[in-house]
C-alpha cells in the first residue's frame, strides 16, 4: 500500500475513528483502526462491536492495500506532523509516514483479522441537514439518563413521521424535546427507536462539522447515518421509551420572558453558593426574577434578573445544573419560562418558536 494525502484530512479521519475503538483485552484488534487505500480514496475504519465508523479521505493511491494500526499511537503521530502533505507506505504490516521534515513508522497487526462493519438492511430511510441534526442532538443529550437501571432512558428517543424528526431524552428530573423538519420525503411509515448516548454524542460532534445532508436509515435493531465523507453504524437500545408528552405543561399560572444571557449569568453566580443538593431558588415577583442560593459553609447570594412577568408570584427550587443546561440549550436571546405551583414542572422554550421544549422538575425541600 502506498498513498499521499493532506495530513489534516487524515488526522481528522483517524481522530474520529479513534473514538469508536474499544478496549477489549481478549480482542486487541478493537483498539486498532483499519486503513485501506484504493482508487483515489483512503478509508479509515474503527469499531467496538456496538458501533462503528468508516471515514473517507481523498488522496493519491499508487498501490492499493490495507493495514491495521493502533489507534492512539497513529493518531498521536499524525497530530505531531502539522499540515504538510504526507506520504504513506506499508512496510511488512507497518505504515511508514513521511513529510518534508518528518519521518515515522507505526507497527501494525494482521489486517485480515479486523472485524467487518455490519451492513444494515434498510427498512426506513430519511434525510436531514447534517448541521440541524447535530444541533438538535446536542440539545437533547444533556437530559439523557446516566443510570443503568432503566436502559431505555440511557439514550435518545428518535421518531420520524410526516416530514418531521423528533428527539427526546429524559433522566426523570428533566426532559428535552426537539422537533425539526426532514429534508424530504421518507421511505416507509412512521418509525421510532432509541439511539445510545455515545452514538448520539459522536453524531453531534462529527456532523456538526459537515455542511451537507445526512441520510438516516433504520434496520433490524440497527442505525445507519451516511454523509458524503463516511458512515456511522450503531446498535439501538431495545425497550420502550416512556410516553413523555403528558408531562409537558401546556397551561401556566406564572409566565415570563427573560433575557437568556442575564439568566445564565445569574444562575452561574448563584451556583457558587449552592448547597450539597445543588439547589437554587427562583422567585417570580413584581420586581422580576429573583435568584437566591445559600450555603451555611460559604455564604449566600441574591440577584434580580429583569423579567416580563405575568400571573401569580411563585418560588421554586431547582438543581442549578439542570436549569442551566436547559437555558443554554435555547437559541434565542430571549426565552419563555412557564410554571405553575412550586412542586410542578417548569417549561423553558425559545421566545420565537416551540420547536425545542425543556421541562425541569423542581426540588422538593420538605
Three-class SS state of 327: helix
pLDDT tens figures, 29-71: 899 999 999 999 999 999 999 999 999 999 999 999 999 999 9
pLDDT higher than threshold 70 for residue 251 = yes
209, containing H or E segment: none
CB 326 within 8 A of CB 280: no
CB 14 within 8 A of CB 71: yes
pTM above 0.85, yes or no: yes
Tell me what the mean pLDDT of segment 330-350 comes to.
95
The residue whose grid cell reads 436549569 is: 323
The count of other CB atoms within 10 Å of the CB of residue 124 is 17
Three-class SS state of 227: strand
| Residues whose CB falls within 8 Å of the CB of residue 247, separated by 6 or more in sequence, listed in order | 175, 345, 359
> How many whole angstroms separate alpha carbon 45 and alpha carbon 34?
5
| Residues whose CB falls within 8 Å of the CB of residue 243, separated by 6 or more in sequence, listed in order | none
- Residue positions counted in the chain: 366
pLDDT more than 90, % of the chain:
82
| Residues whose CB falls within 8 Å of the CB of residue 343, separated by 6 or more in sequence, listed in order | 362, 364
> How many whole angstroms separate alpha carbon 246 and alpha carbon 77?
52
Of the chain, the end-to-end C-alpha distance in Å amounts to 69
pLDDT tens figures, 106-141: 999 989 989 988 899 999 999 999 999 999 999 999
Amino acid at each position: 500500500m502506498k498513498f499521499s494525502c493532506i495530513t489534516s484530512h487524515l488526522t481528522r479521519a483517524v481522530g474520529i475513528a479513534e473514538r469508536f475503538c474499544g478496549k477489549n483485552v481478549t480482542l486487541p484488534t478493537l483498539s486498532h483502526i483499519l486503513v485501506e487505500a484504493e482508487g483515489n480514496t483512503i478509508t479509515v475504519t474503527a469499531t467496538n462491536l456496538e458501533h462503528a465508523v468508516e471515514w473517507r479521505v481523498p488522496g493519491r493511491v499508487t498501490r492499493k492495500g490495507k493495514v491495521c494500526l493502533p489507534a492512539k499511537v497513529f493518531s498521536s503521530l499524525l497530530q505531531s506532523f502539522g499540515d504538510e502533505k504526507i506520504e504513506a507506505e506499508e512496510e511488512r504490516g507497518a505504515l511508514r509516514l513521511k513529510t518534508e521534515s518528518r519521518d515515522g513508522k507505526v507497527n501494525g497487526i494482521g489486517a485480515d483479522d479486523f472485524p467487518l462493519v455490519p451492513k444494515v438492511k434498510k427498512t426506513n430511510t430519511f434525510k436531514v441537514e447534517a448541521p440541524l441534526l447535530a444541533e438538535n442532538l446536542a440539545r437533547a443529550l444533556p437530559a439523557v439518563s446516566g443510570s443503568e437501571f432503566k436502559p431505555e432512558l440511557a439514550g435518545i428517543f428518535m421518531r420520524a413521521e410526516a416530514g418531521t424528526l423528533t428527539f427526546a431524552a429524559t433522566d426523570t428530573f428533566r426532559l428535552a424535546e426537539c422537533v425539526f423538519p426532514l429534508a424530504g420525503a421518507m421511505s416507509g411509515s412512521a418509525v421510532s427507536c432509541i439511539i445510545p448516548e455515545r452514538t448520539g454524542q459522536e453524531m453531534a460532534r462529527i456532523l456538526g462539522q459537515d455542511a451537507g445532508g445526512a441520510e438516516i436509515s433504520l434496520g433490524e435493531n440497527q442505525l445507519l447515518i451516511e454523509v458524503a465523507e463516511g458512515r456511522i453504524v450503531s446498535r439501538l437500545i431495545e425497550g420502550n421509551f416512556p410516553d413523555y408528552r403528558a408531562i409537558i405543561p401546556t397551561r401556566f399560572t406564572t409566565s415570563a420572558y427573560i433575557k437568556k444571557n442575564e439568566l445564565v449569568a445569574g444562575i452561574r453566580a448563584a451556583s457558587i453558593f449552592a448547597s450539597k443538593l445543588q439547589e437554587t431558588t427562583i422567585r417570580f415577583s413584581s420586581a422580576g426574577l429573583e435568584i437566591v442560593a445559600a450555603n451555611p459553609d460559604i455564604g449566600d447570594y441574591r440577584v434580580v434578573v429583569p423579567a416580563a412577568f405575568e400571573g401569580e408570584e411563585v418560588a421554586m427550587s431547582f438543581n442549578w445544573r439542570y436549569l442551566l443546561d436547559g437555558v443554554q440549550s435555547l437559541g434565542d436571546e430571549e426565552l419563555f419560562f412557564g410554571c405553575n405551583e412550586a412542586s410542578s414542572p417548569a417549561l423553558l422554550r425559545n421566545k420565537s418558536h416551540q420547536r425545542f421544549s425543556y421541562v425541569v422538575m423542581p426540588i422538593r425541600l420538605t
